A and B are shown apart, each in its own frame.
Chain A
Amino acid sequence: MSSPSEPRLASRVVAVVVAESGVPLTETLDAVSAQVYEAVTPVIVGGDKDVREATRILDVPWHASFATYLAGVDPEVHYLWFLQAGVIPDPLALDALVGEAERNDASVVGSKLISATEERTLISVGMTTDVFGVDATTFVDTELDQGQYDVVRDVAAVRLVSALVRRDLARGIGVGEGAITNEGTSLAFCNRARLAGARIVIAPSSIVAVPADAPKSDMWRVEADRIRSMITSYSLVTLAWTLPARVLIGLLEGVTTLFARPWTGLATVKAWVWNAGHIVESLRQRRTTMSVRLAGLGDTELFRFQVSGSIAFRGIGSRLMDRLRSRIIDRGGFDIETLAGELRQPAFVAAGLGVAFVALVTRGIISGTTAAAGFNAPLPVGGDLFGAYAGGWNPAGFGSGDPLPPIVGLFGVADKVLPFSSEFAYMVVLVGAVAAAVWGVGRLAKLWGIGAVAGALGGVGYIAGPAAVELADGGLVASIVGLGVLPWAVLAVLRPVPRGLRSRVGWFAQIGATSGLLMFAEPALTLALVGVLAVWLVVAARGWTPLIGTVPALIGIAIGAVAVLPWVLTIDDPQEWLRQGTYFWDISPLVGFGLIAVVVGGIVGATDRLRDVAAWAGIIAAAGVLASRMDVGTPIGVSGVAMTALGLAIAAAVAIDAIGTEHSGGIRIGVIVVGVGMIALAGSVAVSVLGGRVGLPSAELANSIGFISRSQPENTSARILIIGSADAIPGDVREVRGATYRVIPASGMKLWDLWQGAPSTADVALDRILQDMIDGNEFRGGERLSRMGIGWAVVLDESPLEAVLRSQLDVDSVGAGVSVAFTMPETQGAVVSNAEPAWVSNGTGYTGPATDGPVFLASNPHSFWDPDGWRQQVWGNSVDGRTGEIVFTARALVRQRAFGALLGMGVLIGLAVWGRERYA
């Protein structure tokens, strides 16, 4: 520390105390009065009427704002000492500031800020920032002030909480009206000062204590002022890359801090919105800055005191590591010495293997393109998938107004929100679901104290075991995504009900949010959720508390239905929905043996502590198998398979957790039996891993119709008649006398093409054509198929319809490599007009050359195609083609419900987050 200086002459100082409502001024004013440096007079700036009243009582001049004060400041004043109300400067603080200012010819001198507690920990000793204004010298871990930073030096900026500024500088560049507690405001001021030629130093001998309860600026406001400091100080060239880079870093922070608190997403958005709203003011300030800028000074001057790279970016990695460590190891502290040891811990290894497993089992999805198989298909490029779900046109087959399932809406939201391509959105959802599945089972296992390794292996078995493979093999992508959410929903309902209103609200909202997300993926899995809860209550719950919590839990699950409002309101008869379709899980003897071994071994091999959990897992696994084989409807079947997957995973985790512990022979036998069972089930895991597509089928349809897709414009509206067995044809099929077929776009099947609505007139017309051909009453069926927009027929596997097509005089077979294919006499597409070129698909609508009058739209009739001039023509639509566009008018009520559903989910998620911290 420097020794007190001799009192000096001149240098009149005005202590400008920046008041804030609720913050007492007395201590600060007393401290100012107690300054050794005598030539100081205090003024108060800002605050509300209470402050003004207080200043009147204290007989201290008051000014409404900096601008007001600076406009009338006495020219005899040399320095302004900015002080935040509430701080307590040491008696020698001002003297040190003035001394260093005059000694170093500095125009801005900052004090050392310490906490006004017994420990006197350091808060700030000058600021060194990165190019984005983030302070690199923030003390993450508390440090005691032991004079370790007591060197007078040039710095990028000083905190205006206590800073001595030359009066003429302050008048020249203005101070701005942001709170001086804010690092961003301080940085902005100092940047402008530096560009005006000012020298900025830190005077560590000037010590100011900051009370713990001193007001702090919100995170968003600090960020907003940092952004503003860039706008007001940097050259246009620098702004051209720094602003976009800050946006990207902000996005990345927003995503990663979901997992590593505090979450910065909202603050980032608010900061940018604030800057957008104050851009005029910022530009005015920029003009002032540039006008007073010293010649020859520019960004380089500012860069001199900045660190390279992005502090925020580096912070992301360390926050994630902290979070990962706290989740897996639950140890406190984080430093380099323990990192190596921690990385060798089994939990870290398990986490790494989990990540590697997810990457391995989804590598085909990450690197490859998706093709239509089962009920899985790529997302439409540039199509409004969410719009189709939310009251739009269902384009499957000849189209309909029937609703698309919620999974379409889920992918639609992802496609809208995520950048880059639709393929990227698909990949994120699916890979995210797989990762969430593995992680979710681990978290669920952790609820009962099962170790990380056991939980991770359970997660592997969950998403790659025989149950998941059964769902994936059918191309049930909705169920796979739902499997990712299911363990989180189960975790939410099985958690103990917390104390405290906020935590309970958070718990309730968490149930609603996870249930809602589960329904958004696959509504049928709600049955699995309710099923596992019911079994839990019977088998494993103890006391009345779980039972009491069941009612709100069930209500929370029901509230989750808000997520699928557009779809759930279309179900007239829930029983009919439950019984729709057929599902039967044909379990091979090997898989059946494996399932039994894992379940039995899990129950026998569980430690006493986990005995009930194992019983629960075993029972839901067995109940799930029963439900999946009752053939009472697809929803029940699919939910049964999901229950089996979860039960199997937990049973295996329980047994694995018992490995290595000292237990009775019975438990050891149980563990061995589980091991044998897992070996038997290894084949299922291998299927998932080898394919790299989570067991989802590969691109057979694409191979069969590729020659057509490649020969046509990408957005052709022509169609292909696909013939074959129901298993070979993606999505819903139609039947004619027992032979299955369907119509797909020649541009390739997309997700919204999978679920056909109830048959309507166009479907009936096609059925009639096929019947006539079968009955031998039609021998130029190709012409009739052409009029329906069908340009080709492709046979995927054996079907008697192939011979029927061959019996037609105008249907030519074409060599198509892997498949049998036929062409029709014409390829006219779905819109028939007399104009050229042909109309093409545009999302679910069509575009083409404007016509003088109506055109024929070869789809199932619906008046919303042209609310003003539509009429049904034969089995299709006559619509106005004069605008060159045919667009389906979305049903407003359904659309409102869909967006309302999103809003509802947002509220649930928000409440879950708000209540989560307290709960955890």
Chain B
Amino acid sequence: MRRFVALLIVATLATAAMGLGAPDEPPGPDFDGPQAPDLGASAGSTVWFCPWGETGSEATSTVELMTLTSARAALSVPSPLPAEDPARRAVSIIESGARTYRLADVVLQGPAPVSVEFEAGPATATATVAGISSFAADRCVVATPSEWWLVGGTTRAGREFSMRLFNPYPDTAFVTVTAVSEFGSFELPDLDALPVGGRSWIDVDLTDLAGRLDDLVLRIVATEGNVIPSALLTAEGGAAVWPATGVSTQWFFPVASHDDLTTEVVIAATGDSPVAVTIEILTVDGVSPDVRSFIVDPLTPRRESLADFAGEAIGVVVRSDGDVAASVVAESIVDTAALDAEGGSIELSIAAIQGPLAAVTGAPQEATAWLLPGPASEPGGLSTIWLMNSGGQSATVLLTPMGVRTGDQRKILLQPGTVQRVATRYDSAVAGWLIEATRPITVGWAQQTEDGVAFIGGVAIDG
């Protein structure tokens, strides 16, 4: 009997014990890696990458820094020699302001991709490249996606297209690049698992690898580490640089035209299925009735010409029902003999086109405050600030020139559905502009020098 009672007790305890389930596993990390920094200028420390910097006899670069708070910044240029420390220069901006620095003052070594580290913000940077007969510039970027898109390239006759892969991190990155052209998607064997050493860069001449293509869209995936890709398109008498971007369902191009250039919007569907895309063209008078709608196939980028609007000041809004990457490329107006006499869309001739080039990537969203480092800082050139209001209500925009001192502000009423240009003359005391609006708008600027034209995107202030 005692044994039985003991067995009963044991059985009860054992059953109770086995009925207890394992406790829930702790939830684990709520992140899978570093949070991507905001695309815009945010408070706190940020690092901006300007891969297209050059220092040497053939081209020189400047870097325009702008911050709304006292901040120390460090310009860092990796050495082409392995295992050598990057060249660094620390600068300070007391209170808010903007400064222009020559990259050649940091280092002289030819190609000079530069990182700009701000200890505080909001802050951002822009970089220019002035060649013998060319001028290019664009806003610098923060490193975000591990999948980048370079849209707008071409390797047709008369053009040289190269890509720079800049790895500012200590570890070697491994990158795979695939291409999409008018003939569809194809692999680039030389660019499969391409190693890019830590704190270094690689220039890839795509004209050799994928020549004679009207449209060349590049998808860059970092399988290990990360890189910041940028594009360089050159022609006789012109050059354009622009950074790779991520994807979005909308892109805003406040700067989309220049007097002597023909604008094209290049769109790539980045997913697996076709996307429906709408292009709105905004003019100084309002939204153009010429709203373009079409389907973009993932295997074929779409190059939409806006030659109809040649000579007009326009901005472009691209919207789609799926993720796309887009850019605006502006080239010299072609010989009228190439025009299609029957009207309709204009096909650009494959004949060599001389003259300036400009290209810019869009902003994925609108904002009420923008930083524009650079306008009016280039001597001997004309800077134009472009403001675009794609909303339904007018916005009052306050423009504040900043540099070693804050200049006189200007106030502009920006009507809905319009773009406006604000010309700014060179002022040695000004190196950037703060744009504030009562409604979300997008901002960019254009720089014209005797050597060329550049379209540069503005940087929204986050938060």
Contact = CB atoms under 8 A, between A and B. Distances in A.
Q: Is the pairing of A and B real?
A: yes
Interface of A: 539, 582, 584, 586-587, 592, 596, 599-600, 603-604, 606, 611-612, 614-615, 618-619, 621-623, 625-626, 628-631, 737-739, 772-780, 799-801, 803-804, 806-813
Given A604-B3, A780-B117, A804-B34, A623 B13 contact: yes
B34 A738 contact: no
A830 B13 CA distance: 52
Interface in B110-142: 115, 117
Nearest to B28: A738
Contacts of A737: 29-31
A809 B34 contact: no
B13 A803 contact: no
A622 B45 contact: no
B147 to A, nearest CB: 15
A810 B23 contact: no
A912 B169 CA distance: 68
Interface in B1-45: 2-3, 5-7, 9-10, 13-14, 16-18, 20, 22-23, 26-38, 44-45
B14 A596 contact: yes
21 contacts: A592-B18, A596-B14, A599-B10, A600-B7, A615-B3, A618-B7, A619-B13, A621-B10, A737-B30, A738-B29, A739-B28, A777-B37, A777-B44, A779-B47, A779-B117, A800-B29, A803-B33, A804-B33, A806-B225, A807-B34, A807-B169
Contacts of B16: 626
B226 interface: yes
Contacts of B289: none
Contacts of B31: 737-739, 774, 800
Contacts of B5: 615
Given A631-B20, A778-B45, A812 B13 contact: no
B3 A582 contact: no
A776 B35 CA distance: 5
B7 A806 contact: no
B168 interface: yes
Nearest to B37: A776
Given A778-B45, A779-B45, A800-B31, A611 B3 contact: yes
Contacts of A801: 29
B170 interface: yes
Contacts of B117: 779-780, 809
Given A737-B30, A779-B45, A808-B170, 11 more contacts: A584-B22, A599-B10, A606-B3, A618-B7, A626-B16, A776-B38, A800-B29, A800-B33, A809-B115, A812-B170, A812-B198
A783 to B, nearest CB: 11
- Listed from nearest, the 3 A-B pairs whose CB atoms lie closest are A615-B6, A803-B33, A622-B13
B171 interface: yes
B3 A813 contact: no
Contacts of A592: 18
A582 B45 contact: no
Contacts of B45: 777-780
Contacts of B46: 779
A622 B22 contact: no
A50 to B, nearest CB: 67
A603 B47 contact: no
B37 A739 contact: no
Given A773-B34, A777-B44, A799 B29 contact: yes
Give the dominant DSSP class at B's interface.
loop
Contacts of A628: 17
**Contact-residue bracket for chain B:** 35 or more
Nearest to A647: B10
A370 B374 CA distance: 63
A806 B34 CA distance: 9
Interface of B: 2-3, 5-7, 9-10, 13-14, 16-18, 20, 22-23, 26-38, 44-47, 76, 115, 117, 168-171, 198, 225-226
Given A626-B16, A809-B47, A811-B170, A774 B3 contact: no
Contacts of A777: 37, 44-45
Given A582-B23, A809-B168, A774 B10 contact: no
A812 B36 CA distance: 20
B169 A603 contact: no
Given A603-B6, A622-B14, A774 B34 contact: yes
Given A779-B117, A800-B32, A806-B169, A603 B23 contact: no
A586 B44 CA distance: 46
A596 B171 CA distance: 55
A622 B34 CA distance: 47
Given A611-B3, A807-B226, A631 B34 contact: no
A801 B33 CA distance: 6
Contacts of B115: 809
Nearest to B198: A812
A203 to B, nearest CB: 73
B35 A774 contact: yes
A895 B27 CA distance: 41
Contacts of B36: 776
A888 to B, nearest CB: 34
B26 A738 contact: yes
B113 to A, nearest CB: 13
Contacts of B30: 737-738
Contacts of A614: 3, 6
B17 to A, nearest CB: 4
Contacts of A780: 45, 117
A646 to B, nearest CB: 15
Contact of B27 (A586, A622, A738): A738
Contact of B9 (A587, A619, A778): A619
Contacts of B33: 800, 803-804, 807
A539 B6 contact: yes
Interface centre among B6, B7, B115, B198 (most CB of A within 10 A): B6
A34 B36 CA distance: 115
Given A776-B36, A807-B226, A809-B117, A618 B29 contact: no
A614 to B, nearest CB: 7
Contacts of B22: 584, 586
A629 B20 contact: yes
A601 B313 CA distance: 94
A799 B18 CA distance: 32
A728 B78 CA distance: 37
Nearest to B13: A622
Interface centre among A779, A780, A801 (most CB of B within 10 A): A779
A806 B171 CA distance: 7
Contacts of B23: 582, 584, 631
Contacts of B14: 596, 599, 622, 625-626
Nearest to B76: A809
Contacts of B3: 603-604, 606, 611, 614-615
A621 B31 CA distance: 42
Given A611-B3, A803-B34, A626 B198 contact: no
Nearest to B121: A777
Given A737-B30, A810-B170, A630 B6 contact: no
A873 B148 CA distance: 45
Contacts of A582: 23
A345 B17 CA distance: 42
A897 to B, nearest CB: 36
B379 to A, nearest CB: 33
A642 B183 CA distance: 72
A779 B168 CA distance: 11
